[in-house]
Amino acid sequence: MNTVLLILFSITTGASWVSTMHQDRINALHEDMDEVDPHYYKPLPLPLKDAIIYVKKYGPYAAEKRSKVKRRHSKKSIKLMECKQRDRPPKCERQVNGCGSGFTESVPLLFRDKFTSSCNKHDVCYDCGFARNWTRSDCDNTLYQDAVDSCECAYPGFLASAERLACREMAESIYMAVRVFSESYFSTHIKDFCLNDCVLSYGSPKLSNMV
């Protein structure tokens, strides 16, 4: 599933990410768009790295949605999480491609392997949401929470504060872009493999990746 192909983007700061040509394309696409009506769920034909420009342009709206699910990890909650991957059946049919085949270069090298499990779960959640009565919002919120958990587990303690913060910022960026661009990828029909109970441990938004 190409759920995250159009939406992953780099968190490197500055407009230098996007070429002048890409900026012109964005201006042409949005020259008649009302700033207060960002068409939040409308997928746009933007190049991958241009997504950050759109999200930043309508940042207050995206931030409002993000704030509803953003959670702060206290020392107690981190201590209670053992940072072990949930046990899953080794053989279970599903269709996943990590955080997007061919686009992993858009994720900083330091974080590339941290979000793979979260992205794979998001793929299954989108594929099987219709069959399993999971909403798109459930899938997206859990993607963010799982990604943040991965950051907390990968970079614990005071000495890793900078890496942990950067990792969390990347998780938030992925979440915002998913909310803006991925509605059309949420399945609206029942896929046969989704009827297998084994997919629950791979895609259910009710089960965290880390235990």
**145-172 pLDDT, tens per residue?**
999 999 999 999 999 999 999 999 888 8
Share of the chain above pLDDT 90, in %: 34
Instruction: With cut-offs at 50, 70 and 90, classify the pLDDT of residue 88.
Output: confident
Higher-confidence position of 55 and 210 = 210
Q: Is 201 left (phi over 0), alpha (psi -120 to 50) or beta?
A: alpha
Q: Do 51 and 177 meet the contact criterion of CB atoms below 8 Å apart?
A: yes
At residue 107, the pLDDT reads: 63
At residue 90, the pLDDT reads: 83
Instruction: With cut-offs at 50, 70 and 90, classify the pLDDT of residue 173.
Output: confident
Instruction: With cut-offs at 50, 70 and 90, classify the pLDDT of residue 175.
Output: confident
At residue 181, the pLDDT reads: 80
The tokens describing 199, both together, are: 């997919």
Higher-confidence position of 52 and 166 = 166
Q: Return the closest-CA partner of residue 140 out of 90, 82, 101, 179.
A: 179
At residue 135, the pLDDT reads: 96
Instruction: With cut-offs at 50, 70 and 90, classify the pLDDT of residue 103.
Output: very low
Round to whole Å and give the CA distance between 134 and 93: 18
Q: Summarize the chain as % helix, strand, coil (round to 5).
A: 55, 0, 45
DSSP 74: -
Q: Do 198 and 139 meet the contact criterion of CB atoms below 8 Å apart?
A: no
- Range with lowest mean pLDDT among 27-31, 79-83, 143-147, 162-166: 27-31
At residue 61, the pLDDT reads: 52
